[in-house]
A and B are shown apart, each in its own frame.
Chain A
């Protein structure tokens, strides 16, 4: 956990910052920046269209990235990987396309109260369009989701279950394998939000048996603007396109069109090859570091920060009392100090944290909170980062005129 380890992250090297907002987006390693830049320097052409070498090189780079992503999440087939802009777009794709196909009046969509707005609002809209109903699956105060409660919500009207694998507020991970199995027994499709889990733990879509998995490249060291939707081929094949235009058709006539095969059916228009190449390199980078090291570093730092936070009076950590159930995410309140003031004070000490409702307003309401402050770690953070955070945290109430 020394400087050597972070020396290939230009922002961390060159800026005076203790970057603890990794759940919002991670910093990018030099190798990813170089890979994306090199694509534009050496291989740039519009993929899929050109019948010349450069365009073929661009297409190859893009499809290689798709294969890397498929391998990374253990998809059976790279046709099951759709590139999008981000997790939000992936979830909108499923809600719009699968939603329009599967939902009728009176149907139910189960959404957990823990969800990010990205895995809630698309369902709220899909439900409105179909005359279906969103059923909330509520968590306990510490963020746990009970399988018994879940079973009690399932019934023959349940068509879709939308659940995150790792909460961006509690940092808690959920046993989606068990929830997906229960959903399947009831005949529902299981949509998993992997925006926070995929960057921080190995995810195997076949082992979990989820029907869809959405995540964003930018939260796992890749550039912004590239995201992924994994979907089981059998479902994707049945689904109507999400966006219409170039690159997603077979034949177009004045009256209609036949659509391209998977995955291109869902990738209308010119795609983000630079982003995909960056994501490919980010995956290679994560493999070079290794899951063992990534997880150990994140767990060690979480335990270290958690224990120090517990010693500071008037700080309340949201979620589990076991630091190992936080996966680098420490969301908290400070008695008497508004989170936006908290974040501003951290900023004055060059500590970057997030304040607000973290795109989870229904959850905050459920917990009886308006807003909170969140520090989120990545493996490249150091003990010095945590110490700077803790020192500042301990001073906040004093600086705000208490005691």
Chain B
């Protein structure tokens, strides 16, 4: 693991999250739990005409789980459901094996979590928000 894994982007999303709050009028909401770390988030999205117009999360957990959810919301708010699921697919592939440089660029800041793929114990933390969103939108 690199000494700089907890870089500024990650810690800033953890300490000063943009989206850690409840969402008025959310029409999707689901709890995601990762028992090994005790990460526990409730993700809420407001989807109008197939577009994610707002989103937030509440809960507790390690910096990786919290920052990852925050970065995810940065990325998917304003996008269509299909686009969000496409990005989720890229993110999960990034954590599980490899993606192209172009794909990584699409993930914007969330790309900083690439190194988690070398830390098996933390993979679940990184994917918690994304998995929760996938499950929710798949319903």
Contact = CB atoms under 8 A, between A and B. Distances in A.
Contact of B11 (A339, A349, A399): A399
B2 A337 contact: no
Interface in A336-361: 336-341, 344-345, 347-349, 356-357
A1 interface: no
A400 interface: yes
A348 B1 contact: yes
A169 B2 CA distance: 30
Contact of A344 (B14, B61, B119): B119
Contacts of A340: 37, 62, 64, 121-122, 125
Interface in A364-403: 370-371, 399-402
Contact of A348 (B5, B14, B121): B5
B15 A341 contact: no
Given A401-B11, A401-B14, A338 B6 contact: no
A401 B17 CA distance: 12
B49 interface: no
B5 A401 contact: no
Q: What is the size category of the interface that chain A forms with chain B?
A: 10 to 19
Contact of B37 (A337, A338, A345, A349): A338
A357 B38 CA distance: 10
B64 A341 contact: yes
B108 to A, nearest CB: 19
A402 B16 CA distance: 10
B48 interface: no
Contact of B6 (A336, A345, A371): A345
Contact of A401 (B8, B38, B60): B8
B6 A399 contact: yes
A342 to B, nearest CB: 9
Contacts of B125: 340
B14 A371 contact: no
A138 to B, nearest CB: 22
The list of the 10 closest CB pairs from A to B, nearest first, reads A401-B11, A338-B62, A401-B15, A340-B62, A341-B63, A370-B38, A348-B3, A340-B37, A341-B62, A400-B11
